[in-house]
Amino acid sequence: MSSEEEKKQPQGFDTIALHGGYDPDPNVHLGLGQGAPRGVPVHRTTPFIFKNTEHAADLFKLKELGNIYSRIMNPTNNVLESRYAQLEGGHPLSGLTVSSGTTAIFYSIINLASQGDNIVSASALYGGTFTMFNDLLVKFGIEVRFVDAEDPQNFDKVVDDKTRAFFCESCSNPALEICDLEEISKIAHGHGLPLI
């Protein structure tokens, strides 16, 4: 079987977990003439080199895809994003990594809710998440309705046609309240809503 035929074969979970999102370039020569590494290299650089000023301008204008700065895009993050997306059955370009859980929560909410919408959230939350929900999302016109998540029916009591998502921590920080994810999820899905 040729390498092209191998690439066309569907990959299993274990293969994707080890190799998804990374295709070593055999034409790359690093160090003393060795080829590209078999494992994913960790890119710890901040800026990347541009071919010329036109190349840099095209990257910043998004006319060309490529690495500009590690906060925007990094080859190591790209492999991680692609690998996780593929493991979940998604397109290799559909993954996203962020630097913190609070950032992931924020991205989730602002992609689901707009001004005039609301989310229903457990009231026992990590302090940074509570501050975001209580003080910051209101500045975007997004209401957060806090409920005692120890009774999942509390979510159902406050949902309306402007609700865009339910939110809870599986084990709240610092109260250590355990949410019944299965029951809250059933209620959310019954309303056609995601549980974050």
Q: Round to whole Å and give the CA distance between 96 and 183.
A: 28
Question: Buried (b) or exposed (e) across 134-172, using 16+ Cβ within 10 A?
Answer: eeebeeeebbbbbbebeebebbbeebeeebbbbbbbeeb
Give tens-digit pLDDT for 53-93: 999 999 889 898 888 887 777 888 888 999 999 999 999 88
Q: What is the pLDDT of residue 178?
A: 92
Q: Are 18 and 86 in contact (CB under 8 A)?
A: no
Q: What's the predicted TM-score (pTM) here?
A: 0.71
Give tens-digit pLDDT for 98-153: 888 899 999 999 999 999 999 999 999 999 999 999 999 999 999 999 999 999 99
Given a cut of 50, whether residue 1 has pLDDT beyond it is no
Q: Round to whole Å and give the CA distance between 184 and 179.
A: 8
Beta strands in 7-56 (DSSP E): none
| pLDDT bracket for residue 20 (50, 70, 90) | confident
